Amino acid sequence: MQNKFFQVLNIRIIAFHFLGTVLLLLSLRQFAFFINIDLLKMVEQYGNEISWKAHLSIDQKDMVLKYLSMVHQAGFFGVLLGGILSAYVCWRNFVHTNNAMVVIVLGYIVYRFDLLALSDIQVLLLYPGKIAEANGLAGTLLINGIYLLGCAVLIFFSRLTKRFI
């Protein structure tokens, strides 16, 4: 039974869909950061030191915890959405959906252990937002989110990707 599972796997599909899932993960995190821009401006103003926490009341500290929790969960929704899109594309192209299961597992490992934060890949992927630095933090987050979402959609639904696979 295990041998049959590995026989239907297509490494190229898994690689492309995994890249699309990672881009969705980062895109949804960028959009989640965009929700409470005032908090990010406060952190930017006071730096990454402990000093900005001193300016918060108890209610605001609860808000910060909820905000950080929501940003973290946005990555999980990116992995889930990437897995659903991968399963849909595999089903539509008459490819076995075991490929989508592998994509979900790999995406969850990246999400769970926060492997993107440890690498320079995230810096490279978020570089287009530097164009909008003049517009402030909101412009940077918006440009990055749209760019990453567009790249992910292209990877999942492009005819060039379908031909290569």
Residue 8 pLDDT class (50, 70, 90 cuts): confident
Domains in the chain: boundaries: 12-39+57-164
pLDDT at 89 over 80: yes
The one-letter amino acid at 7:
Q
Given a cut of 60, whether residue 2 has pLDDT beyond it is no
Q: Which of 44-53, 72-81, 141-150 has the lowest mean pLDDT?
A: 44-53
CA-wise closest residue to 21 among 79, 74, 91, 90:
79
Most confident of 14-18, 30-34, 93-97, 137-141: 14-18
Average pLDDT, integer, range 80-84: 96
Averaged pLDDT of the chain? 85
Q: What is the 3-state secondary structure (H, E, C) of the chain?
A: CHHHHHHCCCHHHHHHHHHHHHHHHHHHHHHHHHHCHHHHHHHHHHCCCHHHHHHCCHHHHHHHHHHHHHHHHHHHHHHHHHHHHHHHHHHHCCCCCHHHHHHHHHHHHHHHCCCCCCCCHHHHHCHHHHHHHHHCHHHHHHHHHHHHHHHHHHHHHCHHHHHHC
Distance CA(159)–CA(79), nearest Å, equals 22
- Per-residue pLDDT for 39 more than 90? no
- Which whole number is the average pLDDT over 139-148? 91
Q: Is the pLDDT of residue 1 over 60?
A: no
Contacts of 32 (CB under 8 A, 6+ apart): 70, 71, 73, 74
Query: Does the structure show a pLDDT above 60 at 140?
Result: yes
